[in-house]
A and B are shown apart, each in its own frame.
Chain A
Amino acid sequence: IAGITQAPTSQILAAGRRMTLRCTQDMRHNAMYWYRQDLGLGLRLIHYSNTAGTTGKGEVPDGYSVSRANTDDFPLTLASAVPSQTSVYFCASSEAPEGRRQYFGPGTRLTVL
């Protein structure tokens, strides 16, 4: 069982380009999340999904979009990347959204130049 996988592991991207970060979980968890981790700020929630077909905005959603077409996949898209989106991105999942433990993927390191 892989748990949560993220792709790519790292990426360097030119500003203005479109980028999709992939996240797949094999635990059949209902809820999924995207965070960005920046030095001195900890992790901040970008978007979440309580169940397939629904999504919601987190603390820092601007410049990002998500979709949840099925239970396993939760891609994060940067429509037009900007340097301030340089960060490490973590995908997470939990059985249910009600304060349950979240399981984290290994992260994607994104650099926008």
Chain B
Amino acid sequence: AQSVTQPDIHITVSEGASLELRCNYSYGATPYLFWYVQSPGQGLQLLLKYFSGDTLVQGIKGFEAEFKRSQSSFNLRKPSVHWSDAAEYFCAVADNNDMRFGAGTRLTVKP
């Protein structure tokens, strides 16, 4: 079965700084890849997804992610972080009805 690793449990960045959240996956074929964001006490909101085609995908709120097959990675990036980006971020890989999530990375934004 596929699996997802998010190596960073917690990341702190200053407002306005760039951000990269790491995600590595294990899957035999080309996976469906997702990034979700969860604000405290809320459900999950989709930021972006990759199914095929261009390996650099754009999402909402100024986020982007790049699929790198050679590194089995799907890292999330944002050039300039806003205080409202503080949340928990989950990477996920899907194979039909089996979606596996990473353990999440909590983002703290310093003023």
Binding site for B on A (CB under 8 A): 4, 31, 33, 35, 40-45, 48, 50, 56, 58-59, 90, 92, 97-107
Among B9, B32, B99, chain A packs the most CB atoms within 10 A around the CB of B99
Checking A4, A43, A50 against B101 with a beta-carbon cut-off of 8 angstroms, the contacting residue is A43
Q: Are the C-beta atoms of B44 and A44 separated by less than 8 Å? A: no
Say yes or no: A90-B43 contact (C-beta < 8 A), given A40-B103, A59-B100.
yes
Give the number of residues in B that approach A within 8 Å (Cβ atoms): 28
Residues of A contacting B31 in the complex (Cβ-Cβ under 8 angstroms): 99
Tell me the complex Cα distance, A100–B104, Å.
20
Q: Pick from B13-21, B60-68, B74-82, B88-96 the stretch touching chain A.
A: B88-96
Interface residues of B in 29-45 (CB under 8 A from A): 31-32, 34, 36, 42-45
Tell me the complex Cα distance, A56–B98, Å.
10
Q: Are the C-beta atoms of A42 and B102 separated by less than 8 Å? A: yes
Residues of B contacting A56 in the complex (Cβ-Cβ under 8 angstroms): 97
Say yes or no: A31-B43 contact (C-beta < 8 A), given A43-B90, A101-B34.
no
Tell me the complex Cα distance, A40–B6, Å.
10
Checking B94, B96, B98, B103 against A41 with a beta-carbon cut-off of 8 angstroms, the contacting residue is B103
Residue of A nearest to B45 (CB): A104
